[in-house]
């Protein structure tokens, strides 16, 4: 699908990659962007419609789908990261991140599926390279992204016959609040957003939007165990 004249909804649109996605879509000629956030923020561009949405709240998702029935592109971006290994993070951390990172994209996809079928639209789920192999220091986050990746694959198959494309995005480290503690080279949110839109327009099922992600993808294609070992180290 083309971004020009699209009507997008971006979750977690108030900062980080989500805010960059909003701006990239405006620059690419989107007709309207619903900027969904727990605390919506005003935007100077009149094409932006701020929308209150806590993605952990299924009733709020249903209300958003009712309000934004003209959406042609759903960007599931909202996410949370809690660090810690499998023992220190604990089951509660797993549960919290599963709700936001794993279940919410599925619930949003289901709620917006009628609109996306009507428009022959698209869904992009912002996952992470740790969906491919876990980083043990981010055990619960990795698990939540792996769940989201699996559901994204099922979603793609289930919507293929309806003309809705589903894109899985696997970024490496990005320079946002979420990665503030991560001491690695980071890509700018603007560059990630541009790569995501280019991937959607190109029809890429899997989008690796930065150099680190592309390096992981190449390694993964050759030897997944080597990537897992690298992440584990
Ligand atoms: N930064 C990285 O290195 C990196 C790498 C790979 C993938 N990602 C993924 O990229 C996505 C965006 O992350 P980011 O780097 O932009 O992080 P960020 O700057 O921390 O932003 C996270 C966004 O998610 C929102 N959010 C969290 N819980 C929410 C909820 N229950 N309902 C609605 N919105 C919620 C936050 O809203 P509030 O302001 O209300 O908290 C914020 O807008 C996430 O899915 C993340 O996992 C990030």
Residues in CB range of 31: below 8 A, 6 or more apart:
5, 6, 7, 47
Candidate from 79, 173, 180, 185 with most ligand 1 atoms within 8 A of CB, to mutate: 79
> How far is the centre of ligand 1, averaged over its atoms, from the C-alpha of 164 (Å)?
25
Domains of the chain: 7-232 (3.40.50.720)
Residue 34 designated active-site: no
For residue 24, the model assigns a pLDDT of: 98
Q: Is the pLDDT of residue 90 over 90?
A: no
Express each pLDDT in 179-210 by its tens digit: 999 999 999 999 999 999 999 999 999 999 99
Please tell me the distance from the alpha carbon of residue 44 to that of residue 167, in angstroms, as a whole number.
Answer: 29
Beta bridge partners of 74: 9, 123
Region 52-56: mean pLDDT is 98
Residue 43 · residue 94 · CB < 8 Å: no
Nearest residue (by CA) to ligand 1, atom 24, is 78
Give yes or no for residue 190 CB within 6 A of ligand 1.
no
> For all residues of the chain together, what is the average pLDDT?
97
Q: Give me the pLDDT at residue 109, please.
A: 98
Average the pLDDT over 171-176 and give the result: 98
Sheet (strand 73-76) strand order: 48-52, 32-37, 7-10, 73-76, 122-126, 165-169, 206-207
Q: Ligand 1 in contact with 55 (CB < 6 A)?
A: yes
Task: Tell me the mean pLDDT in the region 70-91.
Answer: 94
Q: Maximum distance among all alpha carbons in the chain?
A: 48
- Residue 31, pLDDT above cutoff 90: yes
Question: Taking the complete model, does pTM exceed 0.95, yes or no?
Answer: yes
pLDDT at position 12 is 98
Mean pLDDT throughout 156-163?
97
Instruction: For Cα atoms 150, 99, 132, give the angle at the middle one, nearest 5 degrees.
Output: 30
State the catalytic residue, choosing from 34, 112, 141, 220: 141
């Amino acid at each position: 699908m083309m971004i020009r004249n699209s009507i997008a909804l971006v979750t977690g649109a108030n900062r980080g990659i989500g805010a960059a996605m909003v701006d990239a879509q405006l620059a690419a000629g989107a007709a309207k962007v619903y900027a969904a956030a727990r605390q919506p923020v005003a935007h100077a561009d009149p094409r932006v419609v701020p929308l209150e949405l806590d993605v952990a709240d299924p009733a709020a998702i249903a209300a958003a789908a009712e309000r934004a029935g003209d959406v042609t592109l759903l960007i599931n971006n909202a996410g949370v990261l809690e660090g810690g290994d499998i023992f220190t993070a604990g089951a509660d951390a797993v549960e919290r991140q599963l709700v936001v990172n794993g279940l919410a994209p599925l619930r949003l996809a289901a709620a917006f599926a009628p609109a996306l079928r009507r428009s022959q639209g698209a869904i992009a789920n912002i996952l992470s390279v740790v969906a491919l192999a876990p980083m043990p220091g981010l055990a619960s986050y990795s698990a939540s992204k792996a769940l989201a990746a699996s559901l994204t694959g099922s979603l793609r198959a289930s919507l293929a016959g309806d003309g809705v494309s589903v894109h899985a995005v696997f970024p490496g480290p990005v320079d946002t609040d979420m990665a503030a503690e991560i001491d690695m080279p980071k890509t700018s949110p603007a560059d990630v957003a541009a790569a995501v839109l280019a991937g959607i327009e190109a029809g890429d099922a899997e989008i690796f939007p930065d150099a680190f992600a592309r390096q992981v993808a190449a390694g993964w294609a050759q030897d997944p165990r080597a990537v897992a070992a690298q992440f584990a180290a």
